[in-house]
């Protein structure tokens, strides 16, 4: 029983195109037959009269030797239970380089880095939500802009006394401009009520004066 060295050989399309007009079908067949001998028995002794035939054989034979080396390596690894693992050890504390060029981190370093990023996000978020008390100038400008009757000094004194909290539940203030608009509505309603009371009072006085006459 003959021993197979390698069960195949490759013929690339570029090689076929380059030599198809240089050699005959019979010469192509002879090359394939000689390469098959190399695959099956490990050697061949070709004798060609056509120089193009010899050149093509040598080219394909070179490709065959590369395939043979890869094939034998594959077979040997299969006998040993698969491709050998990478036995190169990394020095302590080293990290691998990823395909994108960034340096990989160990699990512990990655965990610390993730924790640091999470804390940084929380800190930035809390900074955005920190309430900043308005100055008397800012408050006066805003009230003037809205042409309301809110007294800036009274507004600041009120909320300074209660710790800048709003509502029945004493919730910490987040937007002082919204509080100004609430005061604005309340002030408008109070002025309307006061004006109505003054008008009613004047009417009562006029009735009393008319009756006395």
Q: What is the pLDDT of residues 40-69, one digit of tens each?
A: 777 777 878 888 888 888 888 888 777 777
Mean pLDDT across 19-36: 84
What was the pLDDT predicted at 166?
92
How many residues are there in the chain? 213
- Is residue 159 within 8 Å of residue 173, measured between CB atoms? yes
Q: Is the pLDDT of residue 86 over 60?
A: no
Residue 8 lies inside a defined structural domain of this protein: no
Residue 117 lies inside a defined structural domain of this protein: no
Residue 43 lies inside a defined structural domain of this protein: yes
Question: Is residue 27 classed as helix, strand or coil in its secondary structure?
Answer: helix
Alpha-carbon distance of 179 to 209, in angstroms, equals 45
Q: Which of 34, 53, 78 is the last residue of a domain?
A: 78
Residue 26 lies inside a defined structural domain of this protein: yes
Whole-angstrom CA distances from 66 to 22, 59, 61, 112 are 25, 11, 9, 48
Mean pLDDT across 94-107: 53
Q: Which of 49, 78, 107 is the last residue of a domain?
A: 78
Place of tokens 């019979």: 26
Place of tokens 């050989």: 9
- Is residue 9 within 8 Å of residue 66, measured between CB atoms? no
Residue 36 lies inside a defined structural domain of this protein: yes
Please give the residue range of the domain that contains residue 197.
Answer: 136-212
DSSP string, 136-181: HHHHHHHHHHHT----HHHHHHHHHHTTSEETTTTEEPS-HHHHHH
Here the tokens at position 49 are 């009269």
Tally of domains within the chain? 2
Alpha-carbon distance of 104 to 121, in angstroms, equals 22
pLDDT band at 157 (very low <50, low <70, confident <90, very high): very high
Residue 121 lies inside a defined structural domain of this protein: no
- 178 vs 98: which has the higher pLDDT: 178
Residue 126 lies inside a defined structural domain of this protein: no
Residue 1 lies inside a defined structural domain of this protein: no
* 72 and 140, same domain (yes or no): no
Q: Which of 28, 63, 78 is the last residue of a domain?
A: 78
What was the pLDDT predicted at 95?
47
Q: 14's torsion region: left (phi>0), alpha (psi -120 to 50) or beta?
A: alpha
pLDDT band at 2 (very low <50, low <70, confident <90, very high): very low
């Amino acid at each position: 029983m003959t021993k197979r060295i390698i069960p195949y050989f490759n013929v690339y399309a570029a090689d076929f195109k380059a030599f198809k007009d240089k050699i005959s079908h019979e010469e192509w067949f002879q090359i394939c037959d000689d390469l098959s001998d190399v695959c099956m028995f490990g050697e061949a002794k070709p004798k060609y009269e056509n120089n193009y035939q010899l050149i093509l054989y040598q080219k394909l034979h070179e490709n065959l030797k590369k395939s043979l080396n890869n094939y034998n390596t594959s077979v040997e690894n299969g006998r040993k239970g698969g491709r050998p693992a990478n036995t190169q050890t990394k020095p302590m504390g080293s990290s691998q380089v990823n395909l994108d060029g960034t340096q990989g981190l160990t699990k512990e370093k990655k965990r610390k880095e993730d924790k640091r990023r999470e804390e940084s996000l929380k800190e930035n978020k809390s900074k955005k939500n920190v309430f900043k008390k308005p100055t008397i100038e800012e408050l006066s400008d805003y009230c003037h802009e809205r042409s309301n009757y809110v007294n800036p000094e009274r507004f600041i004194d009120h909320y300074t006394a209660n710790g800048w909290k709003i509502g029945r539940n004493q919730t910490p203030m987040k937007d002082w401009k919204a509080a100004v608009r609430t005061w604005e509505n309340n002030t408008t309603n109070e002025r309307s009520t006061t004006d109505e009371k003054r008008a009613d009072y004047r009417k009562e006085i006029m009735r009393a004066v008319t009756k006395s006459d």
